[in-house]
């Protein structure tokens, strides 16, 4: 059979959000659904539509495991749809099932392979016209979800038009896949398309049951699991940070802020992790805006260690640019004395007005104090955020040292054996470097009244200690 003489959309009766998934021709599609939103049904409908729309094409359906998920859940849901379709049309659309290879052949010659992504090596080799991955966020338990995503995306080289990859998932926080699509939406990437469906979007769900379930859940769970609001995990250092345009990220032009006060935050990495941030202070609102970052990449390292001469040269060149200039204040990590000595010498020679600081007191050095001060700036109780980020900053974690935006998103507290967050950050986290540069700049300038509308406070034992005592 070379063509399909039935309207699949009409046959399956998708509701509005499901119909959007079936209709889009974007290459990369993400479905995020609340409890009972019909996530699996959406993926199964999409897979059947893809397989029957074009004869003789190959597709793949991936669950976490091949036996339990791909065959135990996804295959059964697809088989059920094909059975319903047979009842409507009088045609048995299933031509052959190969139980050895776990491949379904349809009447029009198209095939659907069922695989588990927990064993990614099994996904190598064949090429496909389309792919559906269910609950890819669960890959994070054993392997990188982005690796699985890229691996399967790379297999979309088979025969057929309109090659597409669909990912269906429940809201599990701002995981790597959700962030990938969110960032794509911000930069208006035409390849990506996201559909969110709350639990209440599904017209076939029992509202009374949903209401009863919601009433027994915490506010956080309701936001995430009912209304599909992507929340950060409870271990996030800055759960307040929102990388969307208009929240904590703004579209700024250099011509606007080049006259604003310039503060630099510098983290000297012992081996890697060297970061220098350009921060601008609004002259009236005193909002801090991280506008640019200098981060060495792999080419700047030699024998696994940073070539310090290269980083020194990079900073000197960076600050010598007429659109940037030397900062009014430079706050650096005190741990590497030689670099701070060089920094003071550089500023004394080229910009005597630059004030160079390091964190001195115990309160200044305490990470938790800096974290709380940044938290206050991100989400003040009575005013707009006092800490913002340029939209032009790198949003992906590129190279050995990620930039400030992905680091703000991903920095997490250590956890105990039960998964409960502790009040410290592991030294091994790559997300520390850029955030340390920002934290040190903010803390180091806390007593400079021209840089802060109100003085941030330290959290002391037994209460709050004023920053201007």
pLDDT value of residue 239 = 85
Instruction: Return the SS3 of 293.
Output: strand
pLDDT, average across residues 139-165: 83
Q: Which residue has the tokens 């979800």?
A: 145
Which carries the bigger pLDDT value, residue 192 or residue 2? 192
Q: What percent of the chain has pLDDT over 90?
A: 45
128, two tokens: 């496909």
How many residues are there in the chain?
A: 469
Domain ranges of the chain: 8-226, 249-465
Cα–Cα distance for residue pair 23/358, rounded to 1 Å: 57
298 pLDDT band, cuts 50/70/90, is low
CB 9 within 8 Å of CB 19: yes
pLDDT tens for 32-81 read: 999 899 999 999 999 999 999 999 999 999 988 888 888 888 999 999 99
The answer on pLDDT for 220 being more than 80 is no
CB 366 within 8 Å of CB 436: no
User: DSSP assignment of 237-286, as one string?
Assistant: S-TT---SBTTTEE---HHHHTTSEEEEEEE--SSS--EEEEEEE-TTT-
Which carries the bigger pLDDT value, residue 231 or residue 309? 309
pLDDT value of residue 21 = 95
pLDDT, average across residues 392-411: 85
| Nearest C-alpha neighbor of 265 from the set 442, 145, 34 | 442
Q: Which residue has the tokens 């502790």?
A: 422
Mean of all residue pLDDT scores within the chain: 85
230, two tokens: 């992507």
Q: Which has the minimum average pLDDT: 6-10, 290-294, 301-305, 387-391? A: 301-305
CB 133 within 8 Å of CB 140: no
CB 395 within 8 Å of CB 249: no
275 pLDDT band, cuts 50/70/90, is very high
pLDDT, average across residues 139-149: 73
* Close Cβ partners of 339 (under 8 Å, ≥ 6 residues apart): 268, 308, 312, 332
| Torsion sign, CA atoms 11, 16, 21, 24 | positive
Instruction: Return the SS3 of 190.
Output: coil
* Close Cβ partners of 353 (under 8 Å, ≥ 6 residues apart): 326, 328
Instruction: Return the SS3 of 27.
Output: coil
CB 39 within 8 Å of CB 69: no
pLDDT tens for 229-249 read: 877 777 888 888 888 777 899
CA distances to 152, 329, 349, 357, 459 from 360, rounded to whole Å, are: 50, 16, 24, 9, 17
Q: Which has the minimum average pLDDT: 44-58, 131-145, 155-169? A: 131-145
169, two tokens: 């998932």
Cα–Cα distance for residue pair 67/80, rounded to 1 Å: 18
9, two tokens: 């959309």
pLDDT value of residue 400 = 75
CB 257 within 8 Å of CB 251: no
Q: Which has the minimum average pLDDT: 204-213, 292-301, 329-338? A: 292-301
CATH class of 249-465: alpha beta
Fold of 8-226: Rossmann fold (3.40.50)
CB 241 within 8 Å of CB 387: no
Cα–Cα distance for residue pair 64/168, rounded to 1 Å: 12
The answer on pLDDT for 149 being more than 50 is yes
pLDDT value of residue 305 = 56
pLDDT value of residue 468 = 35
* Close Cβ partners of 216 (under 8 Å, ≥ 6 residues apart): none
| Nearest C-alpha neighbor of 236 from the set 375, 431, 409 | 409
The answer on pLDDT for 5 being more than 60 is no
User: Strand 261-267 relative to strand 275-281: parallel, antiparallel, unpaired?
Assistant: antiparallel
pLDDT value of residue 419 = 62
pLDDT tens for 331-361 read: 998 888 999 999 999 999 999 999 999 998 8
pLDDT value of residue 308 = 79
């Amino acid at each position: 059979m070379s063509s399909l003489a039935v309207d699949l959309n009409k046959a399956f009766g998708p509701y509005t959000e499901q119909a959007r998934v079936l209709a889009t021709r974007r290459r990369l599609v993400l479905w995020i659904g609340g409890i009972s939103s019909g996530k699996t049904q959406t993926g199964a409908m999409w897979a059947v539509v893809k397989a029957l729309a074009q004869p003789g094409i190959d597709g793949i359906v991936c669950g976490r495991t091949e036996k339990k998920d791909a065959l135990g859940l996804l295959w059964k849901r697809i088989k059920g749809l094909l059975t319903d379709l047979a009842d409507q049309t009088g045609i048995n659309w299933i031509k052959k099932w190969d139980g050895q290879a776990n491949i379904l052949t349809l009447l029009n010659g198209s095939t659907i392979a069922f695989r588990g992504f927990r064993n990614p090596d099994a996904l190598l080799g064949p090429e496909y016209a389309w792919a559906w991955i269910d609950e890819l966020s669960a890959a994070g338990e054993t392997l990188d979800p982005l690796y699985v995503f890229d691996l399967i995306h790379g297999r979309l080289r088979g025969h057929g038009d309109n090659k597409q990859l669909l990912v269906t998932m429940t809201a599990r926080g701002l995981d790597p896949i959700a962030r990938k699509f969110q960032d794509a939406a911000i930069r208006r990437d035409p390849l990506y398309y996201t559909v969110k469906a709350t639990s209440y979007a599904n017209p076939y769900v029992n509202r009374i049951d949903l209401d009863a379930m919601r009433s027994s859940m915490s506010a956080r769970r309701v936001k995430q699991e009912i209304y599909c609001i992507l929340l950060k995990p409870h271990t996030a250092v800055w759960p307040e940070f929102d990388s969307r345009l208009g929240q904590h990220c703004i579209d700024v032009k250099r011509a606007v802020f080049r006259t604003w006060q310039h503060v630099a935050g510098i983290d000297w990495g012992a081996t890697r992790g060297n970061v220098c941030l350009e921060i601008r202070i609004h002259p009236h609102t005193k909002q801090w805006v991280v506008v640019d970052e200098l981060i060495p990449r792999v080419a700047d390292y030699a024998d696994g260690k940073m070539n310090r001469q290269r980083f020194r040269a990079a900073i000197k060149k960076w600050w010598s640019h007429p659109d940037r200039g030397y900062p009014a204040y430079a706050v650096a990590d005190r741990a590497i004395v030689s670099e701070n000595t060089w920094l003071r010498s550089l500023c004394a020679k080229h910009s005597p007005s630059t004030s160079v600081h390091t964190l001195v007191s115990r309160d200044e050095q305490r990470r938790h104090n800096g974290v709380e001060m940044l938290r206050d700036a991100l989400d003040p109780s009575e005013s707009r955020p006092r800490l913002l980020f340029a939209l032009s900053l790198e949003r992906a974690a590129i190279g050995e040292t990620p930039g400030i935006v992905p680091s703000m998103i991903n920095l997490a507290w250590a956890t105990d054996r039960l998964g409960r967050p502790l009040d410290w950050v592991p030294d091994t986290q790559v997300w520390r470097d850029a955030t340390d540069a920002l934290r040190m700049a903010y803390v180091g300038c806390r007593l400079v009244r021209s840089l802060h509308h109100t003085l941030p406070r330290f959290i002391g034992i037994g209460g709050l200690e004023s920053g201007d005592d």
